[in-house]
Amino acid sequence: MITEFVITAGEQPKRLDIFLVGRERDASRSALQRLIEVGRIRVNDQLVKPSHKIKPGDKITMDVPKPEPLSIKGEAIPLEVLFEDDSLLVLNKPPGIVVHPAPGNWSGTLVNALLHHFQTSGGTISTIGGKERPGLVHRLDKETSGVMVITKTDTAHRALAAQFKLHTITRVYEALVWGVPKKGRGVIDLAIGRDSKDRKKFSSRTTSPKESVTEYVVTRRYGKVAAHVLLYPQTGRTHQLRVHLTSLGHPILGDRTYGGNKVMVLADIEVPRVMLHARTLGFTHPATGTGEEFTRPFPADMERVIYALEQRIVSKDRTSTPSGATDVNVINEELC
- The H-assigned helical ranges of the chain are 16-23, 29-37, 110-121, 154-165, 240-247, 256-259, 300-309, 315-320, 332-335
Question: 181, 298 in Cβ contact below 8 A?
Answer: no
Choosing from 17, 58, 141, 301, which is the catalytic residue? Answer: 141
Is 63 assigned a catalytic role? no
231/46 Cα distance (integer angstroms): 36
Q: Are 44 and 59 in contact (CB under 8 A)?
A: yes
312 CB neighbour count, 10 Å cutoff: 17
**CB burial string 200-229: b at 16+ within 10 A, e below:** ebbbeebeeeeebbbebbbbbbbbebbbbb
Q: Which residue type sits at 61?
A: T
Give how far Cα 101 sits from Cα of 110, 112, 130, 270, Å: 8, 8, 11, 29
Element (H, E) at 281: strand 276-284
DSSP 52: P
- Distance in angstroms (rounded) separating the CA atoms of residues 316 and 251: 24
Residues involved in catalysis:
141
